[in-house]
Amino acid sequence: MAPSFADKLLAWFDNHGRKDLPWQKDKTPYRVWVSEIMLQQTQVTTVIPYFERFVERFPTIDTLANASQDEVLHHWTGLGYYARARNLHAATQQVMADYNGEIPLEPETLESLPGIGRSTAAAIVSICSGKRATILDGNVKRVLARIFTIDGWPGNTRTLKALWEKAEILTPTKRAADYTQAIMDLGAMVCRRSSPVCDKCPFCTECQAKLSDAIHLYPGKKPKKALPVRATTMLVIEADGNILLEKRPPQGLWGGLWSFPETTDKTPEEFIQDLSLELTTQEPLESFRHTFTHFHLDISPVRATVKGTMDGISDRERFYWFNPTNPRELGLTNPVTRVLNTLQSSGTIK
């Protein structure tokens, strides 16, 4: 009898799969959970140093649940997609409250927690318990779309349904945890988005996209749409070497992070006056563009030196004087780190 899809994949995994990633060592449901959230839309090589620092500071679910959101976001700074960190933090608190700190290894239960979708829940269950659970992350979508020439963009409902059906059929009962890791590894290491290494693939002789010289067509591309452009002015307000930061609302753009105050309907002078601060100097800094998934944001920073203290600022939860030379652990937006790094490298601030 010819070997099944799973047999071929597992044979490849035994010889070539990754088995020494940080979350594969001292494996616990908590560490696997953190890794799976970080790996959403982010490559392994990028995740590894963040994961190691994160679990060093938050080694157990209770240490993460009991931490402040500021500290959690600080240890996520630079990894992007910050809703992942907020959801992970909220989910650990829910597990502590509802499950006595024991992570429930049932897909439906995990899916009820913030930030955990169908594929992530299945990956956690499969890897941690060995139970059969079907995953369909970006790597798996690409592998299946190419081998079986499943047409269309995976974000399309019809295409996604076809991919899930194929993934369900192929997922074995035996060695489910290894299979889960194997199919993710195949996509990450061999069936890559660009420059796939087809001669290293166990399905090279049967991949329909390869046989029809159409690998570049699978998976289908997302329909292109020009990204809209927004613009904002950010105020880099400085007093005695401290920089005024404003906490973003808990949801939405950069939710829960600290950023420079933005002004759209007031001049910098008016904004600063409303904070009971006295403007002494101001100068424009170099503008730059920050691109989000759905739009471009053109940022025009204005550096303003002021006189005054927090005494004139009534909302102490919203505003904070940040000392770049002795920084408190806060989650900072990309523009804050970018501008501060530029000013520090130029010697403009110490």
Dihedral sign, Cα of residue 64, residue 69, residue 71, residue 77: positive
Distance in angstroms (rounded) separating the CA atoms of residues 142 and 164: 12
First-to-last C-alpha distance (Å) of the chain: 71
Distance in angstroms (rounded) separating the CA atoms of residues 218 and 141: 9
Distance in angstroms (rounded) separating the CA atoms of residues 346 and 276: 30
Residues in the chain: 350
Distance in angstroms (rounded) separating the CA atoms of residues 148 and 275: 61
Nearest 5°: CA angle at 98, between 92 and 102? 60
Catalytic residues: 36
* Coil, helix or strand at residue 53: helix
Angle between helices 69-76 and 83-98 (to 10 degrees): 130
Q: Are 328 and 73 a contacting pair, CB within 8 Å?
A: no
- What are the angstrom distances between the C-alpha of 113 and each of 89, 162, 173, 209, 274? 11, 26, 26, 37, 41
Q: List residues bridging with 296 in a β-sheet.
A: 229, 291
Q: Are 92 and 64 a contacting pair, CB within 8 Å?
A: yes
